[in-house]
Amino acid sequence: MLVTIQDRMISVLGGASALVGMFGVVHFSGQILAPVIPDSAPPSPKLVRPGSSQDVRVKEVQLTPCLAVGLGGPLSLLTTYGVSTLAKLAFLPEQKTVSEILKVDPKVCMAMGAGLFAASALLRFLSVRYMINIGKQTDEGFQLKTLCTRGPYGIFRHPIYVGVLGCTLAAPLVLDSVYALAGPMAYATWAYVWVIPSEERAMMDKFTEEYKSYCEKSALAFIYETLMRSVK
C-alpha cells in the first residue's frame, strides 16, 4: 500500500508543480498591468492609502458598481487546477491516459498543454490590457466607462473568460489525466451558467443599445449563443 501511495504522489507532483507555475504566470502578468494612480488622483474608497503620499497600484477594474475584474490570477483558475489535481490523484492508476488516447508521448502531451496555456494566458493578458488602456480613475475607483469592442473583444464577447477556460483545459494535458477534465468542466459551468449571464445583464443596464448592438455584431457570437442555449 505504501508503494501505491508513493507512486501516486510522484506521478501527480510534476504536473501539480507545473500548474502552480502556470497560475503564477497568469497572476504576475496581470499584476504588471496594474496602472499606477498618482497621489493627486481623485480619492477612491477602492484605494486605501492612509497618510501616504505614495502611488497606489490598482487591483481591479470596475465594470459596474457591483461588478469588478481583478488584475491578478483569478481564484477560480487556482481552484480549477486544484480540482483537476485531486481528480487525477483520486483515480490513479487510470486505465487510459490522455496521451494514450491521443497516441502521443506523455512529454508531447505536456508540451501541448503548455502551448494551449501560453495561447490562452496571452489572450487573457491582451484582454485585460485593453480594458486598462480605455479605463480611467474616478471617485468610485478605476472604472471602465467605454464599452470594449476592439482587440480581443472584436473576436470574443468574453475573451477573459475564454482565456481562463483555455488555461483550465491545459490541466488534463499537463496532468495527462482524463479525470482532470473535472476542473475545466466545473469552471465552464460556473462561468457560463452563473457568472457571464449576470455580467451581461449588468453590462446591458450600463450600455443598453450599444451593448445589444455589440452582441449582435461580435465575431463568434453564434458559438456563444449556441452554448448558452444548450445549457439552459
> Helix 182-189 crosses helix 75-90 at what angle (to 10 degrees)?
140
Least confident stretch, 21-30, 137-146, 174-183, 217-226: 217-226
Residue 197 cell numbers, joined: 449571464
> Cβ(26)–Cβ(121) under 8 Å?
yes
Chain segment 127-157, per-residue pLDDT in tens: 988 888 887 777 666 777 788 888 888 888 8
Confidence band (pLDDT; 50, 70, 90) for 50?
very low
Confidence band (pLDDT; 50, 70, 90) for 171?
very high
| 74 cis-preceded (ω within 30 degrees of 0) | no
Chain segment 173-187, per-residue pLDDT in tens: 999 999 999 999 999
Confidence band (pLDDT; 50, 70, 90) for 101?
very high
> Cβ(70)–Cβ(59) under 8 Å?
yes
Whether the pLDDT of residue 64 is over 80: the answer is no
